[in-house]
A and B are shown apart, each in its own frame.
Chain A
């Protein structure tokens, strides 16, 4: 809402510079976005929150200023010079649907001369962002900006049988509004009609046919009060938003209707000539009185933490147009003003007191919440996960959760959560797979010449459920492409691209932060991975991670030209798993003995089986075992491969003798023999 300083000063003395006024209004909750100079002087752009339609006018802002600066607010008195002829002889007004129209005031001005407004009025309207049209229309706009009450002017001669009926539209009824749109109406729309047809969309916009034109001689001025919810519905349904609907849907002042009407009628008579017919036609079916509210002093203290004097509370509330009446020592009976539809509860009055007392003057107190014993385990785990991933070189990303459902469907059969009013097709559903987001992130970087990329995302997937809200699952996604290490040859380091064991090792290192007994690899990947280059890590609690190299078809789809590795980690499962705890284990002070076994292994035997067989022996002195070299071809018999298995023995109690080592080596070989594995000769 643009407020002209000069106009404001017609209602209240402002003992402040524009800059100070800006600050003071802001401190009252009327945030001033900017101050600018117009032809008519300083203009303040005031941001008015949706609960304060009373401040959508110069008079409303003046009331706030008057209360704040402790100055008098000029009363609204507009004496009307009327002609002898009664208005009622020219117009009959009927409210057929009083639930939607609480009051309808009308005045008739005859023998007007429609022409451009005088300079001063045009300047004022321009200063507050309104385009001057003609003197009659301009007056209605002027009064709207001044008093905040929307008015409408009809060309009286266009109203059939000089009749106004405020009623719901009939099914199939049409109205061509002033913006030249033919609007189909229904019973949810309130219209202003004459004897035959709708002539205005009540509280939103007038009809084209009854609009003021240069040939208009007699004007019917409407000043009404419409039910906010109905105006909001109508404006929304018709896709309209006007100065009038903006105020009516927020709640206009029912008692301002006749005042604004008198103001407009006298201004029209002044600027366009003509006579105001005697009497206002005032149909007022809903004389609702504002229920008085009880304001307890104890509540002010309880909410604001401050004692505010009786007098100060009264000064503020009265200044704002409320009636107050003391109730013993308890507090007040307060009758809210008709223009303050937002004030319906005791606490609303507390806010009024606080606003004008000054938030900055209210006390300040810093207290902690009661101390808590329990730890935030989820947060602890999340921090552990990201710390490990950062150490492994992964960068965190936060991609949009919104995806194209067709792209999403390549990666999962779970349906995504489809939006009813998406911004675009590419963002029309909440993903049910995290993979498309990760692939887009990798591609974004590859397209920009960044070829070594490691990313992770801690996010969610979403899928509708038959009952209740969506199934939201927490996921951790890893994406990896490019070189193993940055190209460097400090010690003959060669460029090497990432392979399955690099990636598997990263995931194993990540999972190592948790206590997962029996974690094992299973070769079954998923449909968008190369079958030979992926798999999953599984334990009794479930599948912790599925990972692998993106298959050729999906590479093509994303136009990727280098290998991409992806892992989908079940974060919900991981967060349910305990972090690894630490217990010191005594290490042996006796020497370790290393034995290398050069084995001939039948194809098909996995390292997992070999390790299982050796560990299955339960040798107390078995310290570690690891695969050394794998070799195929050459002298190796067909259907076999050669594996160098390195086994370390160490006793906690003594130096192992060569006999002991030989004995254990025999046991190892014996166990392996049962798998068809023997020593190479």
Chain B
């Protein structure tokens, strides 16, 4: 039975008596409509007059008020449908009517023209299309395609542009989450800090060369830009006393000229745990857990002695080099290990400065450079990229 014959009959005559059959029937009509349109647009026309004629013929076949396919469907299928089928036929017919908008003469003409244009564009024809050729590839297809675009489903979908979170923030949050999961709390402090909190209270006297380990930016003789997040250790001890489990993320400042591995402003995370029976074993266990969680389950950690005036004993944590798995390579300077943070048992003098009795409480602390972690994690080789705000960098995260 041809389409023309089918639309001349009622649904009952066609033996269509349930919703699935209705849907199948309409799908058939829809497919015929699409095929005929496509056939016309791809065949094209010799000239504009012929094009207009062909388009009008197709339009009339489908949309003519008298005896157009659509009007016959309306009369024979919809209006004569039994009550039970009316809703589904109505819906299907409505959808079909929307789709049939593409059978209007103007739409058909546009489709033929744009297909012609596309062909011209690929063969670098002159004319108005040369403007489009200067556009980026993706823009070129879309800007010429209005009519047929919906046909070519290989065109990328329309993406709403999302923003992005800075890689340093990403790493900060990841580290925060690990410690939040261990019951630590986030604490912050001022970036313009007193010399007392930045140095003296942390057992770094002006008269000791260890103070030179922090190249400091000063505001005046008593005020500076904090050179590390450690002052917040003292502030938090004063504020909360013990027990205390905190991490301190934030910006820190050094008198360092910017280059690929230095920036006068960068980020640290400090961690501090003070309680009654904390030992070096807790420090090792927690930081080993952290390192595995952050760098991967397989990494091994190594604790080696170091010196920080505010911890005693002091240590450095290294992880097995993830590049060579500890065999030795250029990244780890042939040692198999990469240093990732400083740590230690809180110096009794520091506890005392924070108002905590070192005979009652012990503690451990660590500090790490967040920017360096982000560089390691994402393979970034220049710290300056973090602070330039270049979209080509930001959009990668």
Contact = CB atoms under 8 A, between A and B. Distances in A.
Do A and B assemble together?
yes
A370 B183 CA distance: 6
Interface stretch (B55-63, B69-77, B116-124, B311-319): B311-319
Contacts of B353: none
Contacts of A31: 304, 306, 316
Given A31-B304, A401-B265, A469-B194, A420 B220 contact: yes
A395 B285 contact: no
A362 B284 contact: yes
A235 B208 CA distance: 13
A445 B390 contact: yes
Contacts of A233: 207
B151 to A, nearest CB: 13
Contacts of B142: 488-490
A441 to B, nearest CB: 3
A393 interface: yes
A393 B323 CA distance: 35
A34 interface: yes
A418 B225 CA distance: 11
Contact of B313 (A250, A351, A372, A400): A351
Contacts of A395: 163-164, 166, 391, 394-395
A455 B166 CA distance: 11
B169 interface: yes
Contact of A366 (B209, B285, B392, B394): B285
A28 B316 CA distance: 11
B389 interface: yes
Interface in B343-379: 345, 347-349, 362
A50 B191 CA distance: 26
Nearest to A388: B163
A460 B191 contact: yes
Contacts of A444: 388-390
Contacts of B316: 31
A497 interface: no
B255 interface: yes
B281 A305 contact: yes
Contacts of B163: 389-396, 454, 456
Given A249-B209, A306-B281, A401-B265, A345 B333 contact: no
Given A399-B387, A419-B219, A445-B390, A29 B257 contact: no
A396 B169 contact: yes
A662 interface: no
Contacts of B386: 398
Given A398-B169, A423-B264, A50 B219 contact: no
B145 interface: yes
Interface residues of B, number: 91
A379 B186 contact: yes
Contact of B217 (A250, A366, A419, A464): A419
Nearest to A458: B169
A376 B185 contact: yes
A396 B166 CA distance: 5
B192 A417 contact: yes
A489 B143 contact: yes
Nearest to B222: A469
B180 interface: yes
A467 interface: no
A450 B392 contact: yes
A453 B391 contact: yes
Interface stretch (A124-132, A197-205, A353-361, A596-604): A353-361
Contacts of B295: none
B303 interface: yes
A29 B264 contact: no
B312 A430 contact: no
Interface string A470-489: 10100000000000011111
A417 B303 CA distance: 40
B272 to A, nearest CB: 11
A57 B357 CA distance: 38
Given A28-B305, A29-B307, A351-B314, A229 B194 contact: no
B155 to A, nearest CB: 8
Interface string A519-536: 000000000000000000
Nearest to B349: A345
Interface in A300-347: 301-306, 345, 347
B296 interface: no
Contacts of B285: 364-367
Contacts of A371: 183
Contact of B139 (A421, A487, A492): A487
Contacts of B305: 27-29, 351, 354-355, 359
Contact of A232 (B207, B279, B307): B207
B284 A364 contact: yes
A350 interface: yes
Contact of A303 (B253, B258, B313): B313
A386 interface: yes
A456 B281 CA distance: 42
24 contacts: A233-B207, A249-B209, A306-B281, A347-B347, A351-B305, A355-B313, A362-B281, A365-B284, A391-B162, A392-B163, A396-B169, A400-B387, A402-B265, A417-B219, A423-B255, A423-B256, A427-B264, A450-B391, A462-B192, A469-B190, A469-B194, A472-B190, A488-B142, A489-B149
Interface of B: 139, 142-143, 145-146, 149, 155, 158-166, 168-169, 176, 180, 182-186, 190-194, 207-210, 212-213, 217-220, 223, 225, 243, 245, 251, 253, 255-258, 264-265, 273, 277, 279-282, 284-286, 288-289, 302-307, 309, 312-316, 333, 335, 345, 347-349, 362, 386-392, 394-395
Interface of A: 22-23, 26-29, 31, 33-34, 49-52, 228-229, 232-233, 249-250, 301-306, 345, 347-348, 350-351, 354-355, 359-360, 362-372, 376, 378-379, 386, 389-402, 417-423, 427, 430, 440-441, 444-445, 448, 450, 453-456, 460, 462, 464, 469-470, 472, 485-490, 492
Given A232-B207, A362-B303, 17 more contacts: A29-B304, A249-B209, A365-B282, A369-B182, A395-B394, A401-B251, A417-B219, A418-B219, A419-B225, A421-B255, A423-B264, A444-B390, A448-B392, A464-B219, A470-B192, A488-B139, A489-B146
Which A-B residue pairs are the 5 nearest by beta carbons? A305-B279, A29-B305, A369-B183, A441-B389, A49-B307
